[in-house]
Amino acid sequence: MRFVDEYRDADTARALAARITALCEPGRAYKFMEVCGGHTHTIYKHGIEDYLPEAVTLVHGPGCPVCVIPMGRVDDAIHIAAQPDVIMTSFGDMMRVPGGKGSFLDAKARGADIRMVYSPLDALKIAKQNPSKRVVFMAIGFETTAPSTAMTVLRAKADGVDNFSVFCNHVTIIPAIKAILDSPDLRLDAFIGPGHVSTVIGCRPYRFIARDYGKPIVVAGFEPLDVLQSVHQILTQLAQRRCEVENQYARVVPWDGNPKALAAINEVMELRPHFEWRGLGFISQSALRVSAKYARYDAERIFQIPGGRVADPTSCQCGEVLKGVLKPWECKVFGTACTPETPIGTCMVSSEGACAAYYNFGRFSRERVKEATRQ
């Protein structure tokens, strides 16, 4: 398949892996964080770690949209879904995320009308088809998905649809990276930057990482060779004592991002003073809400929202996993009390979550897997 297979070529990978190994300084251990859950998924799905030398560890970061949704917001959304004549719509990933009182899937089983959509425009279509219903879109994700939510609100306005609103949970990536960099218990050598977010925000916002924290960051694509190449670029920077923002994903990511998408976000949304992140706590100016100008499309203004804060279960160490302090298997409840069937933490829900990816794809001794797969 064109545009896919050329980025998954095993021969190229072997050659690249040899160059990566050659760049590692003897006796030095490297820790790189892939910020984006899409990368975590790619790393496990394709078995990229098999190509990396022992000295290089990939740490899975907070860029999984559903993983950072706090339990209280899930409960709020379920509360909205339980109101009369409401159709709640959501991306598939969100369906199993546990709140304090169960997930969307559970609420749906109890009778709430919750429908899976592939795009916010599908939610708008449902609103047009059901004029007597109030259709709410559970908006989640980073700057990757925020423009499509904003564009849908603009479309709703243009089309005069007044039974559509957005429960906005969009978050922004930069404050989360900064929170991680400021976290005292973490030692990272560099970042693999999020590819899809960067198609919107561009590469400039990452400059503080190199300038103020002295860490290289390479914005990377989502095919396995993209990830390997970005590891190579990081190691090259480290070997040459450089720290810069580099764009490995230039075939998709413009250096300045997508001005139209950013304009749509700025038109419809504004920064919240602070927002709670699952496991990371409150981070100031880290999330978006629908601005007053578009109040009639803002579910938070239309519905009475309980707004309760639900403390993460004490046994759950999602925060440490999201910051990369703990590996998934180092969490106290990983794989025993917390599994994909009965997730305690959000990292175990989405296939982009570090815990779910590790549990589903990597949960076994590398040595035994290598032995078993040897021809």
- In the complex, the smallest distance separating the C-beta of residue 373 from another protein, rounded to whole angstroms, is 5
**Cβ closest to another protein, residue 3 vs residue 84:** 3
User: What is the DSSP secondary-structure string of 9-44?
Assistant: -HHHHHHHHHHHHHHSPTT--EEEEEEEHHHHHHHH
Rule CB under 8 A: say whether 352 interacts with another protein. Answer: yes
Binding test (CB under 8 A) with another protein, winner from 19, 28, 45, 260:
45
What residues numbered 292-331 form the site for another protein, per CB under 8 A? Answer: 327, 329-330
Strand partners, 218: 192, 246
Express the helix, strand and coil content of the chain in percent, nearest 5 each. 45, 20, 35
**Cβ closest to another protein, residue 144 vs residue 152:** 144
**Cβ closest to another protein, residue 293 vs residue 332:** 332
What residues numbered 154-213 form the site for another protein, per CB under 8 A? Answer: 196
Residue 168 CB contacts under 8 Å (≥ 6 apart), including other chains: 139, 149, 269, 288, 289, 290, 298, 299, 300
- In the complex, the smallest distance separating the C-beta of residue 372 from another protein, rounded to whole angstroms, is 5
Going residue by residue from 203 to 232, which x/- string records binding to another protein, judged by CB under 8 A?
Answer: ---------------------x--------
Judged by CB under 8 A, which stretch of 102-110, 279-287, 290-298, 311-319 contacts another protein?
102-110
Rule CB under 8 A: say whether 149 interacts with another protein. Answer: no
Rule CB under 8 A: say whether 6 interacts with another protein. Answer: no
10's tokens = 């095993």
Binding test (CB under 8 A) with another protein, winner from 20, 33, 52, 220:
52
Strands 86-90 and 164-170: unpaired
Instruction: Give yes or no for a contact between 287 and 271, defined as CB atoms under 8 angstroms apart.
Output: yes
Q: Is 371 left (phi over 0), alpha (psi -120 to 50) or beta?
A: alpha
Rounded Cα gap, residues 318 and 329, in angstroms: 11
Rule CB under 8 A: say whether 100 interacts with another protein. Answer: no
